[in-house]
Amino acid sequence: MTTLTTRTAAPTTQERATSKPRRHGARWAAVAFVAPLVIYLLLFYAYPLAQNLSMSLHRFDRGTFINGGAPFVGTEIYQDVVEHPRFWTIVRQTTVFTAASLVFQYLIGLALAVFFHRGGFRLAAPLRAMFLVPWLLPIIVSGTTWQWMMNPDDGILNSFIGLFGADPVWWLSADNALMSVAIANIWLGIPFNLVILYSGLQGIPKELYEAASMDGATPWQQFWRITLPMLRPVSLITLLLGLVYTLKVVDIIWIMTLGTGTSQTLATWAYGMSVGKGASAIIRYSEASAVGTILLLAALAFGLIYIAAQRKQED
């Protein structure tokens, strides 16, 4: 211990003596340490993004993609995409999918977080950990399982509602697809909401509740007057992160329905055109890139609000 204190006391004089050359050297060392990251970000983020943008401004098809020579067409492809007969339908579906996912994930996640946080039962910790499982699994695993559970003839969901005399539902048909993929996506998102909101609840001082209950506030009043207001910053961040994630999600939808029918969103539309499957049987790189860019701008817009919200929370 003593050696440590003498050592920490020492630097002031020594630092002054070597300050100039060392600061210069430190600057170079810092640059060397971050250089791999900067080069990596340029090569594997900036370059693909630029490439994506360039592809949306040139008219590519399968041939020009391989041999080159795609003509520059300006914003023509963006016009094509926006004037596509299904464009506004797809925007609406994306909005419904995102809004429904967020609202239910948040409400269920919050209810569970409060339930587990109040505690008072032995199994709270292990069961809360179990809730993480759906979030950690590969989405293709969850997607295929939901697809089987929603099978119209032999799926467990239809057998279950059949017990109450309901008619079987064609979960994954064109009309119902949006609802079904939203259900699966809500299920996927609950763990994330639960964990974040739970950590938010842990940050609320216990004294507030003690004072409130001494003043005779019911648990219900405490929830509305203390929990919800105190949780506002964390709630905002949870919802914004969920929003960005839900806007761009492809796999859960694609695996269940190939993005067909009402489950077609901007992200699955772009993905489908980039692989030539699902709703678009032909590969359309340029259109896919244009839709991707629109999606990117939307995600960034909400992303900037998120960054602003986070900054505000730190102050």
Q: Is position 187 an interface residue for other proteins (rule: CB under 8 A)?
A: yes
Among 100, 113, 186, 270, binds other proteins (CB under 8 A): 270
Question: In whole angstroms, what is the distance from residue 196 CA to residue 245 CA?
Answer: 15
169 scored as a contact of other proteins (CB under 8 A): no
Q: Looking only at residues 272 through 311 of this chain, which bind other proteins when binding is defined by CB under 8 A?
A: 274-275, 285, 288-289, 292-293, 295-296, 299-300, 303, 307
User: DSSP states of 229-271 as a string?
Assistant: HHTHHHHHHHHHHHHHHHHH--HHHHHHHTT-GGG--HHHHHH
Q: Does 133 bind other proteins (CB under 8 A)?
A: yes
Stretch that binds other proteins, among 81-89, 98-106, 138-146, 168-176 (CB under 8 A): 138-146
The yes or no reply on residue 259 touching other proteins (CB under 8 A) is no
- Does residue 248 belong to the site contacting other proteins (CB under 8 A)? yes
Angle at which helices 266-275 and 232-248 cross, to 10° = 30
Extract the tokens encoding 101: 């996912």
Binding mask 48-77 for other proteins (x = CB under 8 A): xxxxx--x---------xx-----------
Question: To the nearest whole angstrom, how small is the minimum distance from the Cβ of residue 184 to other proteins?
Answer: 9
Query: Cβ closer to other proteins: 75 or 159?
Result: 159
The pair of three-digit structure tokens given for residue 106, joined into one six-digit string = 């948040």
Phi, psi of 263 (to 5 degrees): -85, 5
- 224 binding other proteins? (CB under 8 A): no
* Helix intervals (H) in the chain: 2-9, 11-41, 47-57, 62-67, 76-83, 87-118, 124-130, 133-136, 139-149, 156-163, 177-202, 206-214, 219-222, 228-230, 232-248, 251-257, 266-275, 285-314
* Pick 176 or 257: Cβ nearer other proteins: 257
3-state DSSP assignment of residue 58: strand
CA distances (Å), origin 17, targets 9, 13, 21, 23, 27? 15, 6, 10, 11, 18
Judged by CB under 8 A, the stretch of 79-87, 111-119, 167-175, 222-230 that binds other proteins is 111-119
Q: Is 36 an interacting residue with respect to other proteins (CB under 8 A)?
A: yes
Please tell me whether residue 189 binds other proteins under the rule CB under 8 A.
no
Contact positions with other proteins (CB under 8 A) in 81-110: none
* Nearer to other proteins (CB atom), residue 99 or residue 130: 130
Which residues lie across from 58 on neighbouring strands? 72
Q: Select from 82, 91, 114, 131 the one that contacts other proteins (CB under 8 A).
A: 131
